Amino acid sequence: MLIKIYPENPNERAIEQVVEVLKKGGLIIYPTDTIYGLGCDITNPKAIEKICRIRGIKPEKANFSFICHDLKHISDYIKPIDNTTFRVLKKALPGPFTFIFNANNNVPKLLSSNKKTVGIRVPDNNIARCIVKELGNPILSTSIKDDDDVIEYSTDPELIHEKYEDLVDLVIDGGYGDNDASTVIDCTTGEFEVIREGKGNIEEYL
């Protein structure tokens, strides 16, 4: 199923429809401020396993991130952070960053059996944040990648739907996606260590 949602003013009924799919253990593809993401409800182990099968990876080895609604939402899943880190997050988010933190016990066991960290995103995209807010907990997320390394990621929602319609329950058309991934920053030591350069420049917020 492909549904159109406008990022400037996401339709409430459409957002509820997406949340229904997630609550039933469905998979969605949705827009962010970087690349389109493949996601599910983090509290649904079967849905997480489905995403892992699509990506060909084991849940405990996967580097998924959590899409959160805001800063308060983040604190539900990570160990306490210092004031400096909090101030940087406050300035940088919502934005094209994935911050890696030490995970607390709220992170589903399926995902944290071997890892004690979690990647957190608050994308600058109303659709993604409205879905998470309505759902009441984060979406587990991974970027959709194209098989063709030249066009590394898919950006056209209609083509994405054509490719994934048999694998996912719903694709959201929120306009063309970006081609740049998020910048990944490790904050587990209290420093800001860039693991992967992407769309965001953290130097602007330090």
**pLDDT computed for residue 146 by the predictor:** 60
- Tens digit of pLDDT for each residue in 117-149? 999 999 999 999 999 999 999 999 998 866 555
Specify the higher pLDDT residue, 32 or 55.
32
pLDDT at residue 2, as a whole number: 95
- Tell me which amino acid residue 131 is: I
Total-model pTM: 0.92
Contacts of 198 (CB under 8 A, 6+ apart): 34, 96, 180, 181, 182, 183, 184
Mean pLDDT of 5-11: 94
State the angle between helix axes of 12-23 and 126-135 in degrees (0 to 180), rounded to the nearest 10: 60
Note the pLDDT of residue 150: 42
Per-residue pLDDT, 57: 84
- Mean of pLDDT values over 92-108: 93
User: Is 112 a residue whose pLDDT tops 80?
Assistant: no
Dihedral, CA of residue 120, residue 125, residue 127 and residue 128, to nearest 10: -10
pLDDT average, residue stretch 55-68:
84
Closest CA to 103 of 95, 91, 88, 114: 114
Q: For 100-108, what is the mean pLDDT? A: 89
Q: Which residues contact 192 (CB under 8 A, 6 or more apart)?
A: 85, 88, 185, 186, 202, 206
- Give the span between the Cα atoms of 54 and 131, in whole angstroms: 22
CATH code, domain carrying 192: 3.90.870.10
Type of residue numbered 107: V
- Using the predicted structure, report yes or no on whether residue 198 has a pLDDT greater than 70: yes
Can you give the residue range of the structural domain that contains 72? 1-202
Give the residue, 112 or 20, on which the prediction is more confident: 20
What Å distances lie between residue 24 and 28, 119, 190, CA to CA?
A: 11, 24, 38
Residue percentage of the chain with pLDDT more than 70: 93
Does the structure show a pLDDT above 60 at 151?
no
What domain count does the chain have?
A: 1
